[in-house]
Each structure stands twice: as C-alpha cells, then as structure tokens.
Structure 1
Amino acid sequence: MDILEEIVAHKRIEIDQRKQFIAPRQLYGMVAQKLQDAPATTVKFATSLMESETGIIAEFKRMSPSKGWINKDAKSSIVPLSYQKNGATALSILTDTDYFGGYDEFVQDARATGVTIPILYKNFVIDEYQLFQASFCGASAVLLIAVCLSKAECKSLMSLAHELGLEVLLEMHDRHDLEYAELQPDMYGINNRNLGSFVTDVNNSFKMAEQLPADVCKVSESGIDNPETLKSLREAGYNGFLMGECFMKTSDPGEALNKFISNL
C-alpha cells in the first residue's frame, strides 16, 4: 500500500466516525440553514486567479507525510489573514488531521478573523458528506483528486459541490488522469507531487500544460519555490500557483509571501 492508498483507506474510517458524531441529515440541515442565512461567497475562485497578477494560492499546511511537522506552532487565527494582507490571491487550508495536522475549524478560524478571499478546502474528498463539511466551515472551493475517484464519482461530487455553491479544483497528475478533464471543472490542477511516492518534480506541470484545454483556469500545484519558476509556469499557460511549504517553513509565512511577491 502506497501513501495515498493508506490515506484514502484511513479517510473512509474517519468519515464513518464523523457521521456517527454528526449524522449526515443533521449536517445537511445545518448547511441548508447556513446557506439560507448567509449565501455562499460571491468572490469566485477561478475568476480571482484569472484576473490576478500573481495567482498565488498560499497554503496553510502545518505538516505532511513526507516532511513531518513543517510549522507545528502556526495559528489558523493568524497566518491565513496575514497571507491575505500580504497579497495572496486565494488560500488553501489543509483540513486532514492525521496526515497533515489540519482541521475544518482552521477554515472557520480564517473566516472569523476577517479572511474574505477565496479558500480551498484541501482534503482527500471521497464522500459527499465532506462537501457539506466544506460548505459549512466557509470554504469557497473543494479539491477533487482524479486518482482517488472514478470518473462517475468525480462527476457526481462535482455536481453536488456546485449545488452547494462550491467551485471545484480538479487535480490531475499524469496523462492517465486527462480523461477527467472533460468533466469541465472550474479549475484544472496539475500536481507536481506524485501522491503515491510524494516525489515532487515541477517539470510535470510543463509537460502537462499543452495537454489541457485552452482558455481554462489552470493551476500548478506543489514544488514552486522561486519567482522564476512561477514566471515560467505563467508563460506556459498557468493562472494559479499553489504554494505552501516555502512559506510555512518560515517563522512568518505572511512576510515570506510578501518577499516572494516583491521578487516577482
């Protein structure tokens, strides 16, 4: 079993436990009430990336399976808002607990402290229950990973996400995932990290760029740690750049983002 298979197997157990804590019908009712009281944000994730000069999706990630703790003391009540103040176009917040040290509450904390830019609910989404979790905590979009889902499952989850007012970043890695692109997600992501081995190679985005549809929102994910790489990716057709570790490994992620943008 590789790392991804292990994570997904654990995720199924985790979701079943969560459903016992908050029954699906109860959660669905909570989301319906929240959407009635406060409709989903009108700040569009894909549009924000397409119109941005930098397109940086700054990620709040405290740990990973390959690196262990990156920044254990980072606070969701501080870093996401600091990212926004220092020029992030959008945010990505890890909500997987056991492998990434994240919680749904981190998204809620970000919103409570004044974050208004789009937030990606970053998790291994395999069940519709998780879409309701994302909506309830205040996310703008969800990540769907092609390799974790059948095409039919992906299509169904994407449809429900849209019903809940959530945009979808569909993550692909290699040519075997390209058939999922015809589902027409809001954002087409290329992960430079192999989720089975966690080996990262930013050249993957360059190899995959021309195989994606033209005139869609394209996002390069992982392994981007210098301005020149981002510039080259933009020239290759990408609009969004998901970056986390290069900021989170510092004592002040927001300031690290500020310096990165200045160097652009």
Structure 2
Amino acid sequence: MLTDRLYFQGCPEYLQAARAACSLPVLRKDFMVDAYQVAEARAMGADCILLIAAALGLADMQALEAQAMTYGMAVLVEVHNGEELDVALQLKTPLLGINNRNLRTFEVTLDTTLGLLSRIPADRIVVTESGILKPEDVALMRNNKVETFLVGEAFMRAPDSGVELARLFA
C-alpha cells in the first residue's frame, strides 16, 4: 500500500484499511530511506517494507533490513538490473522484486524479469513487478517459474479490481 501523499497520492489510512480488511501480509510500498519510516510502517500495521536498490546503498539497505527484522517484518528488495541484483543478493531477505519499469524512461518490459531469472538463487522468491496487464503476462511468468506478482496499475485502472484480479489470474 502506498502511504505517501505527496508523490503517490497514498495515505496511512489505506494501509490501515487493508490491514483491517484481511489477514494477508500487507506491504508498505513507499520509498523507505530511514529508520523512522520502518518504525512508522510497523505502527501502521505493515508486515513488509520495500527497499529499492536503485535508491539505497548496501549499508543503508542492510541497516533498514535489520531494523525491519527486529519488528518481525519482512523485506522486499527491488531491483531493475544486474548491478542492483548483485547488491540485493547480499541481503538476508528471500523476497526479491524485479521491477519491469525502467525508472528513468518509465518503459515497461517483462524481459527485465526474464533476463535476470537465471542469476537468482533457488532459495529466493522472485516477485515480478509492473507490466502485468493481461492473462498472457501471468502465463509467461508462470511458464518461467515466477509465481509471485506485484500488480498495481492494472487494478487501479480497472472499474472493478476484483473482476480484474479474476481476469488476470483465472
């Protein structure tokens, strides 16, 4: 859940509503850059935080990961390329997100996930992020042993996100 009002039009209440509505783990998907945000995420009810390798160095990611772990929280580390992957693999978290959106050009290609898969150890859980817009995208990822998806845009643009969920993952 996005909680940042200024950049993502989110709010803490969205995360709190999600937490109250279900027993599934809830991710705070904002750009985490300091320890206060990790504590804040836990206080909001988040079970997991996002660390973006493009925005943080290894030492910062390790510190934020350690803090999240002290709160019993999971960490999803997000990468966009091989260089970021090399850094991310030094973290303890098994959750590895591959964002298919280029942060500089905003171009989206599922080839980003497909191109990095062979470099990822079997003990990591790959989460493909961005660009999952049709059932064929889900099938392509599943055919390549990716079973975990972070989908936002498709649900936000759909008139009924439940119907869209059923359509994508039928």
User: TM-score surpassing 0.5?
Assistant: yes
1:160 aligns with 2:72: no
> Please, what TM-score do these two structures have when normalized by structure 2?
0.93
Q: Tell me the CA shift for residue 140 of structure 1.
A: 1.1
Q: SS where residue 259 of structure 1 aligns?
A: helix
Which residue matches 1:85? none
What does the per-residue CA deviation read over 1:58-79, in whole Å, with 9 as the maximum and x for residues that have no partner? xxxxxxxxxxxxxxxxxxxxxx
**Root-mean-square deviation over aligned CA pairs:** 1.3
Runs (4+) off by over 3 Å: none
Task: Note if 1:227 corresponds to 2:135.
Answer: yes
Contact 2:138–2:169 (CA<8 Å) still a contact in 1?
A: no
Which of 133, 150, 153 aligns to 2:57? It is 150
Displacement of 1:186 after TM fit? Answer: 2.8
State how far apart, in whole Å, the 2-side matches of 1:259 and 1:232 are: 15
Which runs of structure 2 are paired with 1:47-62 in the superposition (5 Å)? none
1-structure distance, mates of 2:168, 2:91:
34
2:30 & 2:67 partners in 1: Cα distance? 16
Instruction: Name the CA distance, whole Å, in 2 between partners of 1:256 and 1:172.
Output: 26
- Structure 1 partner of 2:156: 248
Asked if residue 138 in structure 1 is aligned to residue 45 in structure 2, the reply is yes
1:122, 1:142 within 8 Å by CA — same for their partners in 2?
yes
Residues 238 and 261 (structure 1), Cα distance of their counterparts in 2 relative to 1, 3 Å cut? closer
Counterpart of 2:119 in structure 1 is 211
Q: Does 1:127 align with 2:29?
A: no
Structure 1 residue matching 2:31: 3-state secondary structure: coil
Is there any run of 5+ residues in structure 1 with no aligned partner, and where? 1-92
SS of 2:75's equivalent in the other structure is strand
User: Deviations for 1:15-74, whole angstroms, at most 9, x for unmatched residues?
Assistant: xxxxxxxxxxxxxxxxxxxxxxxxxxxxxxxxxxxxxxxxxxxxxxxxxxxxxxxxxxxx
**SS class of match (2:8):** coil
Residue 129 of structure 1 aligns to a residue whose secondary structure is helix
Question: Secondary structure of 2:64's match?
Answer: helix
Greater CA radius of gyration, 1 or 2? 1
- Map 1:54-203 to 2 at 5 A: 93-112=1-20, 114-180=21-87, 181-203=89-111
The answer as to whether partners of 1:107 and 1:139 remain within 8 angstroms in 2 is yes
How big is each residue's C-alpha offset from its partner over 1:216-256, in whole Å with a ceiling of 9 and x where there is no partner? 21110000111222122123232311111112112111221
Residue 116 of structure 1, CA deviation = 1.1
Alpha-carbon spacing, 1:230–1:261, altered in 2? closer, same or farther (3 Å): closer
Structure 2 gap segments, 5+ residues each: none
Please give the TM-score of this superposition, normalised by the length of structure 1: 0.61
Find the aligned partners of 2:163 and 2:58 in 1 and give their Cα distance. Answer: 40
Decide whether the 8 Å contact of 2:99 with 2:130 is kept in 1.
yes
Report the identity percentage: 38
* SS at 1:188 equivalent: strand
